[in-house]
Amino acid sequence: MRMVAHLDREIPEGQPKASSDSLAKITGDSADSKSLYELAPALITWLDTVYTKVDEKNADEESRWQRLKDECDYALQYAKFMEYLDANKPTFVLYSNYFRVKPLLHLANLAERIRTNVLQDDAYDYGNICLLNLLGFSAKELSDLGRAEEPASNTTELDKYREKLDRRAYQLNSASVELTQQIVKVWNPSKNEQEVSKLRISADGQYLKVVVEDSIGVEVELDQRSEGFQWLVSFFIVFFSEAKGKHANTVLLLDEPGVSLHALKQREFRRTISQLAEDNQTIYSTHSPFMVGPDELDIVRVVELADRATGTKVHTTLSSTDPAAILPLQEALGYDLAQSLFSSQRNLILEGLTVTGISRRFQGY
């Protein structure tokens, strides 16, 4: 290193060379395997220490010392910046379509499986745990309340027991109201059809039940509803639980959401995702034209896999060499265009602007 040679220029051959030896202690024998970012703090200290030995009349060495100092300062700032990015990098959470909430679950059994960390069915148990997190209770708490006997005559104990039961009822009702409001926004129940109008979560002894009530008051358990509705309820339960808990401020990833929903329900669900994304950034993949909004084309990205060697490409423009990649976009725009044909009883479809101009000339005849 030229800087070291310059610093040790006046030391006789065979004598200890202070600058060279101190630098060797910093870099060690494996200097090649260490990045400049790791060595920067020690190198800056070393450069400051040896600065007085640099010949002030030697412009080249002065310039070399300054360049080394600038490089180390840059490396140190870069390392701090990378540490900041690493500490603040977003957490990505993949939401699986296989998470389900059981309409009827035994609290004591679930509490025991959680305690022993032996989940019989990961997909269902995870959904049930999310439901309990949303309610603000653990499975053991609800289970203990379900098996606890009412105190005999102790007024203080009776009040505590009653307070626990009231808290459970309030939490269950609050969760039921919130889920109902969100689901109704998507499901849009019709007054003329016996569709879902309310979702109720209730506790009965050791059992926690999720019940759906239709417009005429008939109650059925969740698993007796359609596959699409079951998925929707499970989605909101898991989504709200994760968004409010350990996954707050995370980026949620949805893979083909709403595939079991009716096409028109998918359009409503897409608008709901946009609302949910106000609190948690959400990215989802889809092949359905009904999950692509014509009013949101600026946030749509076309993804294609031309070949394995090139890998996956994400296009910032709505274009692709693969016609299948942009097919959902074309279908989405085509659907909205076709809807205008049903806005009036009589429609005239013309080939182009020229024919349109000619036809307008005949409007008064």
- In what helix (H) or strand (E) does residue 196 lie, and over which residues does it extend? strand 196-204
What is the spatial distance between Cα 159 and Cα 172, in angstroms, rounded to a whole number?
20
Q: What is the pTM of this model?
A: 0.59
What tokens were used for 120?
Answer: 């019989």
pLDDT single digits (tens) 138-172:
888 888 877 766 666 677 877 877 887 788 788 88
Cite the DSSP H helix spans in the chain.
Answer: 2-7, 18-27, 36-50, 59-88, 107-116, 122-135, 139-147, 155-187, 227-244, 263-276, 323-339, 353-361
What tokens were used for 29?
Answer: 């024998």
- Bridge pairing between strands 302-305 and 219-221: unpaired
Residues of the chain with pLDDT under 70: 1-22, 24-26, 28-37, 52, 55, 96-98, 120-124, 148-153, 186-196, 244-246, 320, 322, 336-337, 342-343, 364-365
pLDDT single digits (tens) 230-278:
888 888 888 777 776 667 778 888 888 888 888 888 888 887 788 778 8
Task: Name 197's Cβ contacts closer than 8 Å, sequence gap at least 6.
Answer: 180, 184, 189, 213, 214, 215
Where do the structural domains in the chain lie, given as residue ranges?
2-88, 96-249
State the helix-helix crossing angle for 36-50 and 18-27, rounded to 10 degrees.
Answer: 160
